[in-house]
Structure formats: structure tokens, C-alpha cells
Structure 1
């Protein structure tokens, strides 16, 4: 199949077309066909997609400006002139339309006054007003792509595992080189550099490197304090490879002289193990979260568990399903999720262990491989060396 590149101008300027070479790729076509079937069943056409990760999932496009219109007549991709060459190279299973104004893209396919469904969670109010001012009737709907993205193909799972391998390899290299005078910010920068050096496109999020009392903040920012100045060091990191993210947390602690630290480490590790053991197709995400909370409640640390147990990972580092007490989602084979219980005691520090797992036909398989013992190495011993 050959694709066309269409330049969309205002009506008084006329239109022009040019050919685009390319081969249709079955994976992209299959995703788009699933989406169209879903929207036809729900009677929600035409549907406008503006969320860039969704557009990447459906077409392969990685730029920062794009629209995707799904209609009974097909799936149509639009972007501005900055991405002309990039769209030719990346977009699969869709014609490429180059617009000057987004409303020109609508005018190309829709009559004024037409209804136009859109993703209510990912479309800005400003864009909603643009649809209205263009003469259309915008109708908010839940994302039709969210459910498609939750279950990863074999190829997607392999890419995520590759991202995890790069990230953990980088962490172990950085860990072996940490010196007593390094700050949290310096270690975070070294970790980001090492992930990129090993082949990552970028980081899933700015690495969280927190020592001592700072580790009691679940999303602490790396600062100027010496990382090894306390007795706890928490590292939350991930990288992006071929568009897909990884996410892992390791906590290291010196337990000598503070027996409660070992109790916290053991409790968090037990909570993670119980949650992972509960994972299998058909289990409610809220039940997995409950398993982790029950352990921490029994150990007396339940009130210090301040967030959900996990989340999905893919083209975004936080995506459905949510492993939380409020989730209504059910686990399915092929989903990739984090399991990351934590205990955060103000004035003392925090412990969190996080692994990526894929839901298999019978249970869960870890995609991250660093042992979560909490004591590799003893920080006080490291500092003495």
C-alpha cells in the first residue's frame, strides 16, 4: 500500500498533494482496526485523539504535535510542517496530512456542525474551545485507546525488559562508584548519564536519589546533601528504550545499631512478595493492593504507607491499570505493572522496594532483577572505606 502526503491550506489558498513512500506494517494496522471496531460498537465516531503517546501507539509517530482522526472513512493523521520529514519516516497505516491550523484538519474531513468525540481526560479546554469555534459539536468521552494499551504484546514486553536491563545495569555501575562526598544531585546526574551511555533514549522521570530523612518523602527531589550522610539511601529510577519506560526502586540501609530499620525492611519486602504472589489473570487490582496493606498493617506500619501499591508501565511511566484500593480494573495476561509498597517515617527515613512484573497466564514474572534485600551494601561500611 502507498500513502499520500496531503498539504492542507485554507480554502482560499487551495490544496496540493505529494506522494509518501512506505509499507503498511501489520502491527500498526491491527491496533487501528481494533480501535475502529471498538468505536463502531460504541457508536462513537468520529473520534479525535490528541494524546501523543496514544498517537505513537497507533501510528509510530514520535513528534510533539499531532492529531489523529478516527472515522468510518479511515484513520487520518495530521501534524504541522515542522514534522514533514519525520512523519514520512515514522507514520504507519495512515495518510499524513500537513496543516497550518488544526481547524483546517477538521474542515478536511468533517462538515461544520458535525459531532466530534474526544478524549475527555487528555484534551485541554483551549482545544475544546477551538473545536467549538470551528463549528463542531465536541462530545467528551473516555479514552478508547487506554484499554488497548494496557495489555502489552510480546514485542512490547521485550522492549520494556530491555529498558529495565539498561536501567539496572546503570544503577549497579553507579552504585559501585559512589563516594562519601557525593551529593544526591551528583549521584542522580551520574545515574541519568550512565543510562543514556548504555543506550537509553532518556529517563522515564528525573531519578529520585534521597538519603537520610529526605528518603521519607516518596517523591523526594535530589538535593545538595551528602547521599551517604545518613543511614538510608533510596533510589527510584527508570529509562526509556524504543519509546517504552522502565521503573524500579532500590533502598539501601545500614541496619547496625538501629534494629527497627531491619524490621521496616523486612515488612516492606514481605508486603511486596505477598502482592506479587497475588498477581494472576482475573484478580482485581484492588485485591493486590490489599495484600500489601494487610502485611504492613499487621507489622504496625500501615499508617506510613502513603501511596498506591503500583501502576501500569509502557509508553508512559504511569499508565493504567492502577494497583490501588480504589481501582476497578482486573488484571489480564500481558499487563506490565509495578509493585512498590513503601514505609515513610518522618524524621527517620523511608524504605520502598519496586519491581516491574508482567502478568503471565499463571501468575507474575519479574522484569527487574536487583535483589531487594535493603542492605547491599551497608552504607556505614561504604562510608568508612
Structure 2
């Protein structure tokens, strides 16, 4: 059965887009969306094609493939087929000089093919406008995110302890975990705005592999399968008594994600220092969560937290060695890494209905990455956690 995004939801998003565009770019005349994620946000389907939005006319979803599927899936008012951009351009007279598009996403060659038929002279970015729109979730979106959060909680807090067994490899845990996630309701993929990044599972690590360097912009690490596939987990690294187990993964339902990290102590407790540093990370998460109220400034939250931490604790906080990240949390929705970010430079106030993942973590030599991550909704009473309240380092011995 096809799950269609309600027409009133799509209309509301387009109306908000036009309002915000006119606020930040008063002279805009036309915008175009190519990315499948943003196309889904505005139309309820993700196809090969483009969404053209004139300022003073109705938006049209032009579909190369598959028009039939778009018609089945989407309640968007105007969907038309096209074989190439040539088929679409005839519907527009007196094209403006300037087009707004997703400059973070559209490759130069793709734009040149588009410009061959739509000869715009100037290009301006659309990315931050859409990021602002998507950062504030509707009730429809919040329900999807809450469902993802419940799947996440159930799997990482209840089912993983049943899966872990001595001698299994990281890769084996990853494949078993993926099966369980999908069984529980996960959509099977986690999407990121970071260029060229999608994941089926996440960082699945035993011990020191969780602090191994990766290209991924997060505090944790992962050996992965090989240099060609630095994902899932190693086939060689096997679980043994005394290991820290570190699982950092997204969970999605109908496109919408939550993010969660859970840790486990397998066979015996970790060193006292590691346990204490983990508890500090949990305390930091809870403190940040209490600050997630409408009007709070993300950059101020970041500064308040970082200024409160002593120099010794800051060593290897939010990473390990030279590979450390400069944020404490991030927005989440149709992609795992959205706005706003709890980091310097993010000065727009939080609004009720925004959703953020908080992930204070700390690398410990010869142990791995301790800490926690959960997903929270901004409310007047502070952040409401929707991915569970287990503090992590679950003892399995």
C-alpha cells in the first residue's frame, strides 16, 4: 500500500517556501530543485527529474523517470512527463536571468545540460533556504520521527544484547543488526547531506576500532571492511571478553530519521576511568537537552558546555587524537545531518518542533569511544528524548 504525503502537508511546505524565499530574496522569480530528498520533501515522491517553482505561477514536477510511479505516489497538483529538458522549457516564456538552485548538490555537468535549454545567466544558492524550512518539523513529520525513535530504542536497548556473542566479527554483528532493524521497521538506509554519503547500518565497532580514523564527520571511528569500503565493520576484529561494543547508527521510517549511539560492556566491566568518562558524557547530554528550548541559541549552548569542561576532559573529547569534531549535536530529519547544529556560528534561535541529535563522546586509548547519542524534540520544557533513556555501557556479563 502506497503511503502518500497528505496534500495539505505538501501545500503547507510550498507556501512556507514561497514566504521564506520572498523574505530572504525579495526579487526571486524562479527556483529549481533536482535532488531527490528535496523533491520528496515538496512533492512526496523522488524521481529523476526536476521541480520548477516560478514565483508567480504554479510549481510543476517534471519527471523523466518514472512518471507513472510519480503519479501513483504523489498528491502534488501538477506532475508532467518529460524526455529531456527540451520538453519542459516550451512551457515557460520570458525566463528570468537568475535561477535559484541547490548549489551544494548539482554537479557542473548536470547544470550545463540544464542550461542548454534553460539559458539562465546567473545562479544563486537555494540550499540554506531549504535547510531552514526542513529544520522545523510539522506534526506529520514529528510522528514519523517518533516512530523511528521507538524502533531505535527497541533495537539498541533491548535486542542487541540478545545478538552479541563471543567470537562474532564486527561485520557479522552489522549484518545481523541490519536484519533486526528492518524487521522492527527501519527503512533499510540512512541518508546524509554530506556529499556522497549513505549508510545501510552505521559504525559497528569493538574496542579500539571505534577510535580509528575515518572520513566521516563524527567523533567515532570504524575500521570497516576495507579501504574501498570503510563501512559496516571488520571481518577480522572479533568480539572478546572485556571489549567495549560501540554502535552508532541512524534509523529511518518513511524517510525520517533518528540518530542513536549505544555502548555495551561485554564479558566484564571497563576500566574505572572509562566508566567515569562515559558518565560525564551522559551528564553533558542531559545538560544540553535541558537547554533545548525555543529561543535558545545553538552557538551559546555550545560555548556554555565547552567552557564548563576542564582541560583534561577536553583531551580526546568529541573524537580521538587529531581527529575531533567541533559540534555537540545536529539537526535530523529526512537526512541524518541537518540544521541546526550545536556549534559555533549557528546563531539563529531554536524553535519548538525542531529535532536534534546530541552526541557527547570521548575517545579513550586502548578502550575505544565512550559516550552516548540520542534524538530530542525541542519543547518549552527542554529537549524531549524520543530514542530511549538507557545511559549506555550496558553490562553483558
Quickly name the TM-score band, shorter chain normalised. Answer: 0.7 to 0.9
Counterpart for residue 275 of structure 1: 288
Q: Give distance in 2, aligned partners of 1:265 and 1:289.
A: 19
Query: Given the alignment of the two structures, is residue 100 of structure 1 paired with residue 86 of structure 2, yes or no?
Result: no
**Pairs within 5 Å for 1:73-92:** 73-80=57-64, 82-92=65-75
Query: Given the alignment of the two structures, is residue 201 of structure 1 paired with residue 214 of structure 2, yes or no?
Result: no
Query: Given the alignment of the two structures, is residue 49 of structure 1 paired with residue 33 of structure 2, yes or no?
Result: yes
Question: How big is each residue's C-alpha offset from its partner over 1:197-250, in whole Å with a ceiling of 9 and x where there is no partner?
Answer: 122221323221111111224131311211345531111122221111121001
Q: Give distance in 1, aligned partners of 2:367 and 2:5.
A: 58
> Paired residues, what number?
355
Secondary structure of 2:70's counterpart equals helix
**Pairs within 5 Å for 1:8-87:** 25-41=7-23, 42-63=26-47, 65-71=48-54, 72-80=56-64, 82-87=65-70
Q: Give distance in 1, aligned partners of 2:180 and 2:334.
A: 21
Q: Is the 8 A contact 1:292 1:341 kept in 2?
A: no
Cα gap change, 1:208/1:110 in structure 2, threshold over 3 Å: closer, same or farther? farther
Secondary structure of 2:91's counterpart equals helix
Deviation, 1:103, is 4.3
Q: Is the 8 A contact 1:25 1:92 kept in 2?
A: yes
Q: Give distance in 1, aligned partners of 2:277 and 2:256.
A: 32
Deviation, 1:296, is 4.1
Counterpart for residue 375 of structure 2: 356
**Pairs within 5 Å for 1:170-181:** 170-171=155-156, 172-181=158-167
Structure 2: runs of 5 or more not aligned? 191-198, 213-219, 225-232, 319-323
Cα gap change, 1:340/1:132 in structure 2, threshold over 3 Å: closer, same or farther? same
Deviation, 1:150, is 0.7
Counterpart for residue 226 of structure 1: 238
Secondary structure of 2:248's counterpart equals strand
Cα gap change, 1:228/1:164 in structure 2, threshold over 3 Å: closer, same or farther? farther
Counterpart for residue 321 of structure 2: none
TM-score when normalising by structure 1: 0.85
The range that moved more, 112-121 or 352-361, is 112-121
Q: Is the 8 A contact 1:24 1:93 kept in 2?
A: no
Deviation, 1:44, is 1.4
Query: Given the alignment of the two structures, is residue 285 of structure 1 paired with residue 263 of structure 2, yes or no?
Result: no
Deviation, 1:61, is 0.7
**Pairs within 5 Å for 1:211-222:** 211-217=206-212, 218-220=220-222, 221=224, 222=233
Deviation, 1:104, is 3.2
Counterpart for residue 124 of structure 2: 140
Query: Given the alignment of the two structures, is residue 297 of structure 1 paired with residue 310 of structure 2, yes or no?
Result: yes
The range that moved more, 178-187 or 107-116, is 107-116
Deviation, 1:256, is 4.0
Cα gap change, 1:251/1:226 in structure 2, threshold over 3 Å: closer, same or farther? same
Q: Is the 8 A contact 1:281 1:362 kept in 2?
A: no
Q: Give distance in 1, aligned partners of 2:87 and 2:308.
A: 57
Deviation, 1:257, is 6.8
Q: Is the 8 A contact 1:271 1:291 kept in 2?
A: no
Pick the structure with greater CA Rg. 1
Cα gap change, 1:293/1:228 in structure 2, threshold over 3 Å: closer, same or farther? farther
Q: Is the 8 A contact 1:119 1:141 kept in 2?
A: yes
Cα gap change, 1:89/1:257 in structure 2, threshold over 3 Å: closer, same or farther? closer
TM-score when normalising by structure 2: 0.83
The range that moved more, 46-55 or 127-136, is 127-136
Counterpart for residue 152 of structure 1: 137
Counterpart for residue 386 of structure 2: 367
Cα gap change, 1:103/1:119 in structure 2, threshold over 3 Å: closer, same or farther? farther
Q: Is the 8 A contact 2:100 2:126 kept in 1?
A: no
Counterpart for residue 252 of structure 2: 240
